[in-house]
Amino acid sequence: MTLQHVATSAPAEAEKPSVWRRIWQQDAPGYLFLLPWFIGFFGLTLGPMISSLYLSFTHFDLLTAPRWAGVDNYVRMFTNDPKFAASMRVTMFFVVFSVPLKLAFALGVALLLNRGMKGLTLYRSLFYLPSLLGASVAIAILWRQIFAADGLVNKFLSLFGIIGPSWISNPNYSLWTLIVLSIWQFGSPMIIFLAGLRQIPQDMYEAASLDGASKWRQFWKITLPLLTPVVFFNAIIQTIEAFKSFTPAFIISGGTGNPINSTLFYTLYLYQEAFGFFRMGYASALAWVLLALVAIFTAFSFLTSKYWVHYDD
C-alpha cells in the first residue's frame, strides 16, 4: 500500500469529493515534489534538445539570428571536413583501446584481490585513488610532464640506456598517453567487479573442484559467465564516459588537439567549433551525431546482450 491509497481511503475523504479534488489529492503531492526536476527536465534538457536539433539545421553565430541551412551541416561533416573525420578516428581509437584495456586491468586486479587477500581494503583504496583524482586538471598537467621529452618516463628509460621520444608531441604516441591515463583510472570499475565477484556463490566453486575442474576452467566456466552482467554494465558506462572525455585532451594539447590532430577528441573539436569559431549550428549537428553514436552503441549492446550476458532466471 502506498501513501496516497492510505490517504484516499481514509474515512474523512469518504463523502465523494469532486473529480478535481480527487486529482488534487492523489496526484498533486507527487508533482509538487517533482517540481524542481520538471523545471530542469523541460527547461534544461528536453527544451534544449529540441532547440539544438533545430539549430543543427541552421548556421548560427550566436550574435545574429540562426539562418536555415537544411542538411548543409551534416553534408559538410561527412563529405568535406577532414577535422571531423580526424576527430572521429581519434575518438574511436580511444574508445576501442582504452575501454577494454581498462576493464581488463580492473577485472584482473579484482580477481587477485578477491582471493581473500590480507590488506584488501588498503589495496582497494590505493587503486581507487587515481579514479577519484584522475579527472582533475592537476592530473592532466602532471601527465603532460610525465610524458614530456625530459619527463619521468624517459628518466626511467634512460636508466636502461633508452632515449625515449617526447611522447606528448609525437603524433604516433600522443593519443596513447591519454589511453594510459584512462587505464590508470581503473579503480571504479574494479570496485564494481569486486562487488560482483562477491555475489557468486562459493559452493559453485566447491562443486566444480570436486569435479576436478582446474582454476583456469573454473574462471572460464563459472566466474566469467556469472560476471557478464557486471562486465556489460561496466562496458556501457565506461564507453559512454570515453565518448564524452574532454579535460585531459584539452589540457595536454593546450586546447588544440595537436600534434597533427592526434588528440583531437570529438568533444574537443565540438568545443572548438562552438566556442572558438562560434559555429553554433555546426556544433549542434556534431552534438547530435555524438548522441546518435552513443544511442546506436547502447542499442547494439542491449540487443546483443542476450547472446552473451548471463542472467539468472
Partner 1 sequence: MTDAPMKLTVVGAETPIWRKRLMSVVSHGLLIGASILMLYPLLWMLAASFRPENEIFTSASIIPTSWSIDAYFRGWNGLRTSFSVFFTNSFIVSTFSVIGNVFACSLAAFAFARLEFRGRRIWFALMLMTLMLPYQVTLIPQYVLFRQLGWVDTFLPLIVPKFLAADAFFIFLMVQFFRGIPRELDEAAMMDGAGPWRIYWKIMLPLSTPVLATAAIFTFIWTWDDFFGPLIYLNRMSDYTVMLGLRTFTDSTGMSDYGGLFAMSVLSIVPIFLFFLIFQRLLIEGIATTGMKR
- Residues between 237 and 256 that touch partner 1 (CB under 8 A): 237-238, 240-241, 243-244, 246-247, 250-251, 254
Binding mask 257-296 for partner 1 (x = CB under 8 A): ----------x--xx--xx----x--xx-xxx-xx--xx-
Instruction: Find the binder of partner 1 among 69, 90, 107, 139 (CB under 8 A).
Output: 139
The site string for partner 1 over 57-76 (x = CB under 8 A, - otherwise) reads -----x--------------
**What is the size of the binding site for partner 1 (CB under 8 A)?**
106
Write out the three cell numbers for 48: 534544449
Interface residue with partner 1 among 15, 16, 36, 307 (CB under 8 A) is: 36
Distances in Å between the alpha carbon of 306 and those of 104, 193, 229, 312? 22, 20, 10, 12
Question: Is residue 33 at the binding interface for partner 1, with CB under 8 A as the rule?
Answer: yes
Other CB atoms within 10 Å distance of the CB of residue 132 = 12
Pick one of 85, 86, 92, 133: the residue that binds partner 1 (CB under 8 A): 133
Q: Kindly state the smallest distance separating residue 83's Cβ from partner 1, in Å.
A: 16
47 contacts partner 1 (rule: CB under 8 A):
yes
Which one of residues 71, 75, 104, 137 is an interface residue with partner 1 (CB under 8 A)? 137
Q: Does 114 bind partner 1 (CB under 8 A)?
A: no
Contacts of 182 (CB under 8 A, 6+ apart): 94, 98, 102, 242, 245, 248
Q: Name the residue type at position 112.
A: L
Contact yes or no for 110/224 (Cβ under 8 A): no
Q: Which is nearer to partner 1, 96 or 141 (CB)?
A: 141
141 makes contact with partner 1 (CB under 8 A)? yes
- Give min distance, CB of 183 to partner 1, in A: 10
Q: What is the rounded CA–CA span in Å between residue 185 and residue 207? A: 36
Q: Is 249 within 8 Å of 265 (Cβ atoms)?
A: yes
Question: In whole angstroms, what is the distance from residue 130 CA to residue 291 CA?
Answer: 28
Binding to partner 1 (CB under 8 A) within 73-102 occurs at none
Q: What angle do CA 186, 192, 195 make, to 5 degrees?
A: 135
Per-residue x/- track, 181-220, partner 1 (CB under 8 A): ---xx--x--xx-xx-------------xxxxx-------
Quick one: which of 13, 17, 30, 308 contacts partner 1 (CB under 8 A)? 30
Beta-carbon contacts of 92 under 8 Å, excluding residues fewer than 6 positions away, are none
Coil, helix or strand at residue 69? coil
Establish if 106 lies at the interface with partner 1 (CB under 8 A): no
When asked if residue 304 is in the footprint of partner 1 (CB under 8 A), the reply is no
Compute CA distances 23 → 12, 30, 302, whole Å: 16, 11, 38
Q: How near is the Cβ of 260 to partner 1 at its closest, in Å?
A: 21
For 246, other C-beta atoms within 10 Å of its C-beta total: 14
How many angstroms separate the CA atoms of 29 and 31, rounded?
6
